[in-house]
Amino acid sequence: MTMQRDAQPRAHFRSFEESTREDWALIMGQIGHTQNMVADNALHLLRLLGSDHGGFPVSRLEHSLQTATRAERDGRDAEYVVCALLHDIGDTLAPFNHPYIASTMVKPFASEANHFMVAQHGIFQGYYFWHHIGLDRNSRDAFKESPYYDHTEEFCAKYDSPAFDADYRSAPLEHFEPLVREFFADRRQPRG
């Protein structure tokens, strides 16, 4: 018999093939609790970004805070601000693939435009520096036909690219915590 670490009931199958409708009712009954853990986990990952600067003028956390602060001060809505805050959350998990970590996190909760922006910001951001490292700065032009091209280009130009200023006064992470919690809250409607 396996010891349970908590008082939550658990299913009893050893493989999905053995699972029952009752097992899945139990699991689906707990999905809201699991989803409500996402905000805590996202905030934890953001805090971890504070311990690394990767050679940049500011820490990865400060860059994220500056990006979100700039967007918020410019009047962007809460969803956009959260996407700005989270856009580099995967930097220390997968530096070469970090946009896809963030875009996967935000996809169920963000508009198509904001999801595209987060997913493709790395390529669009390359316009500002890829020519210095031997890459094609115009790689973003592959997305010229996308209805979200201008949206993503503007994000990089106005908020992401200038967010490495050591003298900029960004809002602290605690300021954005309520927005992150609301963004990731379990919004499923109870089934009738």
CA 36/CA 48 separation, integer angstroms = 20
Predicted confidence band at 118 (pLDDT cuts at 50, 70, 90)?
very high
CA 150/CA 113 separation, integer angstroms = 10
Predicted confidence band at 76 (pLDDT cuts at 50, 70, 90)?
very high
CB 103 within 8 A of CB 115: yes
Rg (the chain; Cα; Å)? 20
The predicted pLDDT at position 36 comes to 83
The first and second tokens of residue 22, run together, are 């009752």
Residue 170 has φ and ψ, to the nearest 5°, of -90, 160
User: Average pLDDT for residues 37-66, to the nearest whole number?
Assistant: 94
Predicted confidence band at 31 (pLDDT cuts at 50, 70, 90)?
confident
Give the angle 82-86-90 at the CA atoms, nearest 5°.
Answer: 165
User: Average pLDDT for residues 137-157, to the nearest whole number?
Assistant: 98
Q: Average pLDDT of the chain? A: 91
User: Average pLDDT for residues 93-98, to the nearest whole number?
Assistant: 90
Assess whether pLDDT exceeds 80 at residue 192: no
The predicted pLDDT at position 64 comes to 98
Pick the more confident residue, 185 or 151. Answer: 151
65-86 in b/e burial notation, b at 16+ Cβ within 10 A?
Answer: bbbbbbbbeeebeebbbbbbbb
For the chain, list the domains and their CATH numbers: 38-184 (1.10.3210.10)
Q: How many residues does the chain have?
A: 192
User: Average pLDDT for residues 73-92, to the nearest whole number?
Assistant: 97
- For residue 90, what are the CA distances in angstroms to 34, 42, 101? 20, 10, 5
| Lowest-confidence pick of 15-19, 137-141, 188-192 | 188-192
CA 121/CA 99 separation, integer angstroms = 7
| pTM assigned to the model | 0.88
Assess whether pLDDT exceeds 70 at residue 1: no
